[in-house]
Amino acid sequence: MAGKFYITTPIYYVNDKPHIGHAYTTILADVLARYHRAAGEDVFYLTGLDEHGQKVQQAAEERGVDPKQHCDDMAPQFLELWEKLHIQNDDFIRTTEGRHVKVVQDILQTVYDAGDIYEDEYEGLYSVSEERFITEKEAESGDFRDIKKLKEKNYFFKMSSYQQALIEHINNNPNFIQPEHRKNEVLGFLRKPLGDLCISRPKSRLNWGIDLPFDTNYVTYVWFDALINYVTATGFRVDNDSYTKWWPVDYHLIGKDILTTHAVYWPTMLLSAKMPLPKSIFAHGWWLMGESKMSKSLGNVVDPLDLIEEYGVDPVRYYLMREMVLGQDASFTMESFIRRYNSDLANDFGNLLSRVSKLIEKNFDSVVPEPGENTDAENLIQNAAEKVVESIHKLIEEMKIHDALEETLQFIRGVNKYMEQQAPWKLVKEDKSAAGRVLYTAAEALRIGTLLLEPVMPHRTEIVLETLSVSKRELNWGGLNAGIKLKQHPPLFPRIDVKKEKIEKKEKFIDYEDVEKLGLKTAEILAVKKVEGSDKLYKLQVKMGNEERQIVSGIADHYTSEELIGKMVVVVSNLESATIRGVESKGMLLATSRKKDLSLIIVDGDKVASGKKVY
């Protein structure tokens, strides 16, 4: 009996349109789901949207619509992208759905009845951008914006009661948090005392959320709502057979920035509710542009739709899966995309299809020839096919998709090399049956290689399979039927003209709108003071042409006030005002760093006046 496989993406926030970070995780889950389906397993693949919380309420207010309308407007953008990316998800959950609201309230009531939720007054620093209370140390780091001091009554979850049980579970289940360095990161976090978790927001401050079932003056904290989606979709408390079939999940795929919520908050909630814990939480890295994380505020986010319009879906899917080692960061550049496209897809995979189909068309009237008796050369290809199939299954189980793709392409390169050595275009003049044997072997190897690539590139591989009239998907050697007629096919991966691309990219660089949006300007530092109660934060008065501004920056460890006064620096000026430690800040300073050393970008004030644009 075939097994089952349940995989989830995080549910994505609807406060902005989807970008390449969303696309990557969703494609990754889709590729894994397709591999498991191809192996004969019963698969459930869940993705969806997180539609509650302060950021959503603020985004709606900025647009002048109510939050539900905002969510209804944003959801189709994600669904449209998933369709364009060839995503085959089994469910798409939205946290505003009635089925989810009920499950969240049921679990909250269960945890409350277990004595694990209590009311208390709390005073502390609250980050509006992160929608949570933060520590003094976190506030001083400069990583949090819109910080306010709040004092209010709230409900708290006794997360600390489950600290030891969680540590034991992590130690007893080596695959619970992957990769290994993320597991060590969580265990390091759990070596310190674990506080309790504030799980409510008063409606006087935030009304866009799910009501607490035991106090309707409050809505639940967005993470206590969002995380529960993973069990809602299985049919929890509605369809017990479905719930017990799919839960616990095999893999939660997440970005490393939400590791704590998934590896600490979520399992402690489940422990309290006496529900099984996920089998594995896998945190992948970030896509970087150069050395920087893709970020809307930096204006360096790649729109996957732009790439798809220009190059097609499958090359984008292939590149994203091939370039990132799961668990590590990966750097996106157009140069590496074009290089990977031309090398792997055009030269290796596409070229093999073109050669095989053209030679069979020319010499065998497009009819797949008989395989004949294998020689040592054919046996080598057949053995290589059997080995790569076995290897790919193992690598997918180990979440090494980049290695699985490289091994598949190595196999295809080996078939191209076999064609070069056997030279069927010459052999056909001397021994047509021998040439037929070579071309059958190459075509059958192409069929197997194509099936191994199908989960990553479902559209382009379908072209190959249709060309070869493949109806069955088995990976055993000999699945290609001799005597069938090949169909015509378009070029699989037309080469990208690198010279033309360079010209186009140069034109784009001259006119680079995303850099313009940042509003980089020179600014003279007029005065510097420490922010009261902080050792790391400076309050800077800067002059940009005729305008003066105040900027709060965490650079006190790196510069004295005397070193800064009079310096001409570069400021990101097109940012909304933020409140940091009770001080208004409008803008950010541009800096570079190496390890713990930080250096501001300093401009020669004798040559450049303040308020000038930086290009």
Q: Per the structure block, which two tokens stand in for 354? A: 């073109």
CA atoms of 318 and 84, how far apart (whole Å): 15
pLDDT at 592: 79
Q: What is the mean pLDDT of the chain?
A: 90
Nearest to 140 by CA among 122, 123, 125, 150: 125
Q: Per the structure block, which two tokens stand in for 275? A: 């529900």
CB 166 within 8 A of CB 271: yes
CA atoms of 547 and 44, how far apart (whole Å): 57
Compare 522 and 123 and report the one with higher pLDDT: 522
User: Residues in the chain, how many?
Assistant: 615
Element (H, E) at 67: helix 67-84
pLDDT band at 167 (very low <50, low <70, confident <90, very high): very high
DSSP per position, 434-470: HHHHHHHHHHHHHHHHHHHHTTT-HHHHHHHHHHTT-
Compare 161 and 527 and report the one with higher pLDDT: 161
Give the other-Cβ count within 10 Å of 296's Cβ: 11
Q: What is the pTM of this model?
A: 0.79
Q: CB under 8 Å to 578, separation ≥6 — which residues?
A: 145, 146, 552, 584, 585, 586
Residues of the chain with CATH 2.40.50.140: 519-603
Residue spans of alpha helices (H) in 365-400: 376-397
Whether the pLDDT of residue 600 is over 80: the answer is yes
- Residues 540-563: what's their mean pLDDT? 88
Residue found under tokens 């079939």: 245
CATH class for the region spanning 333-517: mainly alpha
Amino acid at 458: P
Residues of the chain with CATH 1.10.730.10: 333-517
Q: Per the structure block, which two tokens stand in for 568? A: 């001409």
Beta strand 547-553 with 538-544: parallel, antiparallel or unpaired?
A: antiparallel
Element (H, E) at 503: helix 498-510
Q: In this predicted model, what pLDDT tens digit does every residue of 360-400 receive, in sequence order?
A: 999 999 999 999 999 999 999 999 999 999 999 999 999 99
CA atoms of 458 and 452, how far apart (whole Å): 10
Beta partners for residue 252, in sequence order? 8, 281
DSSP helix/strand/coil, 183: helix
Amino acid at 364: F
Q: In this predicted model, what pLDDT tens digit does every residue of 429-468 receive, in sequence order?
A: 999 999 999 999 999 999 999 999 999 999 999 999 999 9
CA atoms of 90 and 64, how far apart (whole Å): 34
Burial of 118 (0-12, 13-18, 19+ CB in 10 A): exposed
- Residues 482-495: what's their mean pLDDT? 94
- Residues 336-353: what's their mean pLDDT? 95
CA atoms of 428 and 416, how far apart (whole Å): 17
Q: In this predicted model, what pLDDT tens digit does every residue of 178-224 receive, in sequence order?
A: 999 999 999 999 999 999 999 999 999 899 999 999 999 999 999 99
Residue found under tokens 């080596």: 174
pLDDT at 503: 44
Burial of 345 (0-12, 13-18, 19+ CB in 10 A): buried
Distances 558 to 245, 537, 553, 591 between C-alpha atoms, Å: 56, 11, 11, 11
Q: Per the structure block, which two tokens stand in for 27? A: 């494609």
Q: Within 13 Å, how many C-alpha atoms sit on residue 27's CB side? A: 29
CB 166 within 8 A of CB 186: no
- Residues 460-483: what's their mean pLDDT? 94
Q: Within 13 Å, how many C-alpha atoms sit on residue 291's CB side? A: 4
DSSP helix/strand/coil, 194: coil
Topology (CATH level 3) of domain 519-603:
OB fold (Dihydrolipoamide Acetyltransferase, E2P) (2.40.50)
